Amino acid sequence: MKNSNPTADEIYLFNQGNLFKSYEMLGAHIVEENGQNGVRFSVWAPNANEVRVIGDFNGWQGKLNSMKKIDKSGIWTSFIPNVKGGDNYKYEIVTNCGEVLHKADPYAFWAEVRPKSASCVFNINEYKWNDKKWNKGKKKEQDIYNKPQLIYEVNLLSWKRKEDGSLYNYRELADILVKYVVEMGYTHIELMPVCEHPFDGSWGYQITGYYAVTSRYGSPSDFMYFVDCCHQKGLGVILDWVPAHFCKDAHGLAQFDGTPLYESEEIKGWGTMKFDYGRPEVKSFLISNAVFWFDVFHIDGIRVDAVASMLYLDYAKEHGEWSPNQYGGNGDLNAIALIKQLNEVVFSYFPQALMIAEESTEWPLVTGPTYAGGLGFNFKWNMGWMNDSLSYMEKDPLFRSGVHNLLTFSFMYAFSENFILPLSHDEVVHGKRSLIEKMPGDYWQKFANLRNFFGYMISHPGKKLLFMGGEFAQFIEWRYYETLEWKLLDFEMHRKFKEYVKDLNRFYRKEKAFWELDQGWEGFQWIDCHNNQQSIIVFLRWSKSAQEFVVVLCNFTPQYYEDYRIGVPQEGTYKEIFNSDLEQYGGSGKRNEKKIVSEEVECHEQPFSLVITVPPLAYIVLKKVKEIGNHFKRKNNSRKKTRRGGY
């Protein structure tokens, strides 16, 4: 990383909104100048009358270290000798009204542990990485879309704590958390925001230090060690990133130089400030920040939070509280331009990056390329699937037949974007209940329903995300202030459920049909989507090999069937390769123990059919293991009308 006085070229690009590594110019950099070791401080505060550096090194007396303004750039800079790593500091800003503000450095690499709020000098270049093998493998990866992707979403504050209630640090988490996630079969870990934030109850989404990894769990080098360990274990790292808004805390970005510098307005109902996306220096700040986490911390992806609040001028506003854009629409043209440029820049530096949008509306082409009018992300959370499927699963099985469309509608648009199916933290808080508690029925049925639902999710087109605690069926809602209920694993059903999720994850990763053609209709085919009376769906997932496909059946009622006929496209001998109703998972043990030979009996508009056992509230998968004859037929039109299943 470059450490020097800001250059004219850097300043020009910064003021134009096109300096994409502005963290190399601004902030506090340990350097040697004129034979002296010290720190070069640089900060953007264009409307300040005076800026000073205060800190441990000068007794917090700002008049000892005034900064010099660089022409009309708005940037103030100063070299202070003998300042070293670990020293705390702030900027003392004298506004044009004479008010004196004490502000944390927007580009600081580290900060004091809350509730303290000073920035800390840190040498961001000191860590020695050991993830060359991981990075080399990523560069060889040509297709990130048709690969398995299982994401485990984590809040570091509450995943697990020590017996005395204290927090594990990054290096300790690199051992226990990374080991756990790998053993459970996940491909990626997604961390809720780890940028510095003052209030635990914001879950990290109200940030004061965008370039500072939170000191709650250690230093930047400690977090680098965590990411390094993830990579060495074959685990990708995704960070939640929040360019939509920031908090109003006095030491943060709000009214930074006595004027609304970073912000454009307050977001109604949130009590936070919306970034000014039309301001060039704010663009440099935000785009550089995304690049920073990839560049400096080697992360593999970011999930951009609350994209809808950025896109719409009328977001959370009533009639008369907003004005349309120049074309008469409600799109925020500055935010749209920023998002497109953000994705273009990140992919120019890191072609294999995951750029994930949490976008909750029907905005078109979120994952479309920018040259075609899209926003340029490569993945989007499928909020429609999440809302519909959870609404369906909450229904008593007696009434599911009347809302069958909630189960099947998502397949109509499954390939309109590159989707991730999220069961995130937002679905298990604020009275929404935990996933297991959402399920209807008695104790046994709750677990059976959730096993079935997870099987449906794993087989549905799209990548997968599950929030921590869901993998062992935690009953209470997530609470950010306390650890997950790991003691539940003392109970048999929770232990069995955890083993089920582990086996399901491994099964998904093993079977290419679930992800090898995950982005188009050629990888999916309905067998029966119309059987609302029995609340059963049957479909195929295809791999690139025409001979390798799986037959998926989900039974969403407690009814058990011994002779249920389903259509299949190929003649052969089939075998049950997965069943959520096995006793080892807490099920009733109903299964297809023997191999099943197809019959030349048409069913569901397929030339052959199987007669199978269908367990109650269960997910089963069948696979052809042996050819019979030379018959072969494959259909790709999943929207074609099919007949109801056999009785």
Secondary structure class of 183 (helix, strand, coil): helix
What letter represents residue 607's amino acid?
Answer: P
Catalytic-residue membership of 332:
no
What CA–CA distance (Å, rounded) separates 406 from 433?
Answer: 20
Secondary structure class of 572 (helix, strand, coil): strand
* Pair 465, 421: CB distance under 8 Å: yes
Catalytic-residue membership of 358:
yes
* Pair 388, 453: CB distance under 8 Å: no
Pairing of strands 236-241, 188-191: parallel
Tokens for 399, please give them. 């009434």
CA distances from 397 to 139, 450, 505, 557, 581 (A): 47, 13, 26, 5, 17
Q: At which residue do the structure tokens 């749209």 appear?
A: 336
Pairing of strands 608-614, 561-568: antiparallel
What CA–CA distance (Å, rounded) separates 410 from 158?
Answer: 32
- Three-state secondary structure readout of 252-302: CCCCCCCCCCCEEEEECCCCEEEECCCCHHHHHHHHHHHHHHHHHHCCCEE
First to last CA, the chain: 68
DSSP state of 601: -
Torsion of Cα atoms, 501 then 503 then 506 then 511, to 10°? -110
Backbone angles phi, psi at 365, to 5 degrees: 55, 40
- Contacts (Cβ under 8 Å, ≥6 apart) of 292: 21, 23, 211
* Pair 82, 30: CB distance under 8 Å: no
Tokens for 103, please give them. 């502000």
Tokens for 452, please give them. 């079935």
Given 358, 417, 518, 571, which residue is catalytic? 358
* Pair 624, 549: CB distance under 8 Å: yes
* Pair 619, 580: CB distance under 8 Å: yes
Element (H, E) at 492: helix 492-510
Given 153, 257, 305, 571, which residue is catalytic? 305
What CA–CA distance (Å, rounded) separates 43 from 37?
Answer: 20
Secondary structure class of 642 (helix, strand, coil): coil
- Contacts (Cβ under 8 Å, ≥6 apart) of 211: 23, 27, 106, 107, 108, 109, 195, 289, 292
Element (H, E) at 437: helix 435-438
Element (H, E) at 7: none
What is the set of active-site residues?
305, 358
